[in-house]
Structure 1
Amino acid sequence: MLKLARRGGAWTFVAGTFFLTVLSPACAAQESPNPTYIVRHDRWSDSDERDYEHFIAAIGESDCATLNECLHSRANPFAASDPPSRRFESDCADLPYVLRFYFAWKRGLPFSYASAVAPRDGSADDIRYSRMGNKVSARTDVRSGRNALEAIARLRADISTATYRIHPDLDGTDLYSPAIKPGSIRPGTVVYDTAGHVAIVYRVDPDGRVHSFDAHTDFTLTQMTFDVRFARMRPSQGSGFKNWRPLRLTGAERAADGSLRGGHVEIAANKDIADFSTEQFYGTGPRPADAAWASGPFTVNGERLDFYDFVRARLAGKLMFHPVREVAEMTGSLCNDLQYRAAAVDLSRALASRPHPVRLPRNIYGTDGDWEMFSTPSRDARLKTAFKYLRDTAQRFVEMDRKGDRTHLAYSGTDLPADLLKAYRRAAAACTISYHRSDGSTVSLSFGEARARLFALSFDPYHCPERRWGAHDPRELATCREDADKRAWYDAEQPLRNQIDRTYDARMDFTLEDLHHQPAIATPDTDVEGYLEQITRKQARN
């Protein structure tokens, strides 16, 4: 984490010789607890955009656990303008919009958003997962005099992940597809995963790694780096990086108090945005047809790369891995993910005492109500993907080292597998995950124990906390208050727990009997320690 320090009238994050100036608290002190939204400027200036970047970076670098904590913390330069009783909540889809509007409100800037979308082919059952994507069907300009808190509530009701599922060629949207280059991928850039998740970039490292934070249905915030957890999908589904379009309030009248009243917000078109680009969808060569979108190559300095390496290479200027450091940091990030999961499971404990429904939701990954709020199938699938990615990345580094690749591998030691194993073990040893059993007692798991239980962790909120954490020892399970029906559901859901891919278009409203006929699914290898131990033992024998 960066450290917060005071320099003159501004808050500054300090990391070595790098200084990131955030907004002056004096700006916030001038704000009133009055929730009225007043527009005083007809557009967002370059300075406003830079300050918004600093605002997002400060939240991302803080240790706040929810949006409400963040906006009432010193990470927010406007915190003094909000009474302690004022509460802010957001899930993943709402978060970019809530933060963008909040900043606009506090700075007197215009704001407009797509308040409704519809499937382009008119055939989607759930527009959050429409196959051919969506189009904007209505817009809302938030006008001076509106109660800002009511506007946020309305905005949250209007926005879903369907809002992001839009082809990059379409105008009239809130966000556009930027070029993958320094300055274009920046704090405040939005990242959309078509499997139904959204995050906000808060930092780009010198080596090109992109850090983001996201929100969940329980309103907790978590952090992650950009990797294979954000899958590339067809352009019509709008996956990947997105920036806010420039906008301008036209036709407004300046009132006696200096506010701008009335008027209409105009949104910049793709052709008028300097860094608009569809290269993240079609590659860096000639644009292929939409049907062949995945065939487009990604090339940097004459070298063909996969998409994720391309992003790093473009943002850093060259593709360079620091294997020992990266394995340690990825392990630490997974520890954080496990801690976040512990908090989420704790919030769902009350549901474990209720009878299990006779059917699962139509799709366990995309639904609503108690299941959406308290289940963890998407979170768990992303966790499994991240563990697999760590194991695969360690193998990739070992194979690059064997080939003597020093063009992309920054390593000066003599035994990379052993050094990776040491780095992994140090990071893992620093991680303990604790959860509360059904009787309130605490169980602590090591990082290795949590990884070994990965495919036993129940995503089902109607299961006891012990099952949610994959307990198998009778002593640990002794406090689990489950009947035979709950146990049968836990056992029958194993094929769903073995899934690492989230399939949002599949029917999953299974009964217990239906689950008994689901095919077995093999689990991928997520054991990075086992892999590195095997390599080091083989080297020792040779």
Structure 2
Amino acid sequence: MSPTTLFRVTLVILIGLSAVTLPKLGRADACQQGAEVHVWTAPLEPAPGYPLEVFVVATDGRVDEILVTDPSGTRNPLRNLASDGPPWSNYGTLFRPQQGTYRIQAMRRGQVAACNEVRVGGGSSDRGPGQWDLATEALYSAWIEHLFNAPVEQSLSFKSLAPLLSDPAQNFLYNYLGAREDEGLPAEPDCADLPYYLRAYFAWKLGLPIAYRSCDRGSRTRAPRCQSATIETGFVGTRASVSRFRQVAQALVNTVHSGSVRTSLNDDETDFYPVPLKRDAIWPGTLYADPYGHIMIVVKWVPQSGRSSGLLLAVDAQPDNSVTRKRYWEGNFLFAQTPSAGPGFKTFRPLTRSGGSGWRVLPNAAIDGRSGLPRFATEQARMDPDDFYARMETLINPKGLDPAAAYESTLDALMEQLETRVTSVDNGETYMRAHPGTVISMPSGPAIFETTGPWEDYATPSRDMRLLIAMKVLDALPQRIMRFPQLYVLNGESPARAASRIEQLNAQRLRERSISYRRSDGSSWRLTLGEIYDRRQALEMAYNPNDCIETRWGAPTGSTEASTCRREAPRAQRQRMEQYRSWFSDTKRPPR
């Protein structure tokens, strides 16, 4: 991570979906934008001596090279880090730029794909068109990917969004307005608030409008429904203050909730619309809404390579405001057809000018793909879970996957989920230690999954439901190989033989893989994955923070492990948890 600086310059080159032929730049003053190509610079007032960052983003293929001409006329290639797409990106930095004009050229096959100039010192940058066109949406997608970028093998988890937004190495909009606006900026959105907060933050920096709606939560027989859109234009054409952004962000979080994303797939009066299940339609920034209310944000596709599995990475926020990057798999991305929700991949509905200074949110029929943005599509509404997961597997691993590699990838995802639960349960234990004698009120019925206050922050019913589902997914992989052999590279091996081989591998890994948690007395206790599987019945009632941490990890009564337990949930709460046990044993969340 680079040290925080007060001023930075970021250049983002966006290349459109279709090939664009630009005039050859034969004259010194011929640097220009293309119809679907735009060069963004940041901050609005570039300053000499501070890092000049270059971020090339393309939606039609990778850029080969970035050339930078400095004020003296010296032209050099810029070293950069490339990411696959769409959108494709190339990211590099010029350190200590001098005062004067810099020309940046994105090159492809020896031709200039995009060019713009920025004056460092005494100049004002182009802030863009002030509307959500293809170039701006591509910039938003690139920003999301870079914000959460880290090596795949690295665990990426933060107590809130604030550390990421305040890090100029991750957030190329850091101090974009030049007013030290990110210093001390509170950023603690939870699950449903996270996509809205990110969208509002980006709109604030780029001077864009945003739209959001007030929605109900639906019922067991219908998906949530929303009112007409509130269109916030206070950022447009101005450098809005930090206080103005806080006002807008607060209005958002006071209005939106998980129902805002679970709306029916064919509903026009929504903040989001469903996209096709295609790699070129699911950009970073796309949301995934599961039928039970959890929301993930896609942040990166990692292509399949050799025997290595491809990956789709996403982030989510928890009620305690923690933000964590996770890999796509069935244990995280729950899918089911239910009348109470419209699940699947969705993205923000386009917002466009309606003439003069007015704005309108586009209906489904107008989102036809001709703008270059993903088109409206309802194919997810016609899929059962097996078909959905099979389709996603072909997107992530189009060449198929060796059964053992598929197993190891699934196992890694489960272990990642368990490690995340270690943190969540420990957060609850930390709260209870800091508030001795406290008894957290437990909601009744389905409300245990949706509430506010300490129960929402520290109870784990939704997370534990997902964990129990995830454990079933790993267990069922041999049967999956038998049912969908076309998804795997068997090399002449029969599906039955491959399934048997995976069962043997699973028995071995159950003994080898483990997690550790901190008991009530502060000591560490190790649990193998096999022991956790043996405790599945106990984990059906392990979500209550009023219970000691040993109970929350299923420690058997009277065991050495449980000897340090000093707290138990009230009897009335335990009785209700027993009544709700079937939800967890059947891994089916009840309707509202």
Relative to the length of structure 2, the TM-score reads 0.66
Partner residue of 2:489?
A: 410
The equivalences for 1:91-490 within 5 A come to 91-106=190-205, 108-118=206-216, 126-127=217-218, 131-144=222-235, 145=240, 147-204=244-301, 206=303, 210-222=312-324, 223-227=326-330, 229-234=333-338, 237-249=341-353, 263-273=357-367, 274=369, 275-282=375-382, 306-313=387-394, 315=395, 320-349=400-429, 350-351=431-432, 353-354=436-437, 356=439, 360-362=443-445, 363-397=447-481, 399=482, 405=485, 407-412=486-491, 416-417=498-499, 419-420=501-502, 424=506, 431-457=513-539, 458-472=542-556, 474-482=559-567, 486=570, 489-490=573-574
Of 339-348 and 387-396, more deviation after overlay is shown by: 387-396
Describe the shift of the 1:371–1:281 C-alpha distance in structure 2 as closer, same or farther (beyond 3 A): same
Structure with more relative contact order (C-alpha pairs < 8 Å, separation 6 or more): 1
Q: In structure 1, how many angstroms separate the alpha carbons of the residues matched to 2:398 and 2:513?
A: 32
Q: Give the partner amino acid of 2:133.
A: S
Whether the aligned pair in 2 keeps the contact of 1:187 and 1:203 (CA below 8 Å) is: yes
Match of 1:534?
none
1:235–1:281 CA contact under 8 A, matched in 2: no
Q: Is the 8 A contact 1:332 1:428 kept in 2?
A: no
How many angstroms does 1:113 deviate by?
2.1
Provide the C-alpha distance between the structure 1 equivalents of 2:426 and 2:90, rounded to a whole number of angstroms. Answer: 34
Distance of 1:10 and 1:113 partners within structure 2:
38
1:90 paired residue among 176, 189, 206: 189
Partner AA of 2:170 in structure 1: A
Instruction: Give the conservation status (yes or no) of the 8 Å contact 1:249–1:265.
Output: yes
Matched with 1:538 is none
Coordinate RMSD, CA, aligned: 3.8
Q: How far did residue 480 of structure 1 move?
A: 1.3
- CA distance in 2 between partners of 1:22 and 1:72 (Å): 22
SS at match of 1:136: coil
* C-alpha contact 1:195 1:502 (8 A) present in aligned 2: no
Q: Given the superposition, is the C-alpha separation of residues 269 and 487 from structure 1 closer, same or farther in structure 2, using an over 3 Å criterion?
A: closer
Task: Provide the C-alpha distance between the structure 1 equivalents of 2:478 and 2:131, rounded to a whole number of angstroms.
Answer: 47
Give the AA of the match of 1:410: V
Deviations 1:445-464 (A, max 9, x none): 22222332233231001111
Distance in 1, matches of 2:275 and 2:552, equals 40
- Separation (CA, whole Å) in 1 of partners of 2:579 and 2:340: 31
Q: Does 1:21 align with 2:125?
A: no
Residue 43 of structure 1 corresponds to 131
Measured against aligned partners, the alpha-carbon deviations of 1:98-142 in whole angstroms (never above 9, x if no partner) come to 122222223x14232223124xxxxxxx54877343133441314
Q: Look at both structures and tell me which one has the larger radius of gyration over its CA atoms.
A: 2
Unaligned runs of 5+ in 1: 31-37, 119-125, 253-262, 284-293, 299-304, 507-542
* Structure 2 counterpart of 1:69, one-letter code: P
TM-score (normalizing by structure 1): 0.72
Q: Percent identity, aligned pairs only?
A: 27
CA change 1:9–1:39 in 2 (3 A) is same
Q: SS state of the match for residue 530, structure 2? A: helix
1:371 positional shift: 1.0
Distance in 1 (CA, whole Å) between partners of 2:510 and 2:246 is 43
Task: Specify every segment of 5 or more residues in structure 2 that has no aligned partner in the other structure, as ranges.
Answer: 1-53, 56-65, 67-76, 98-117, 119-125, 305-309, 370-374
Greater Cα offset, 353-362 or 65-74: 353-362
Give me the whole-angstrom Cα distance separating, in 2, the residues matched to 1:26 and 1:249: 36
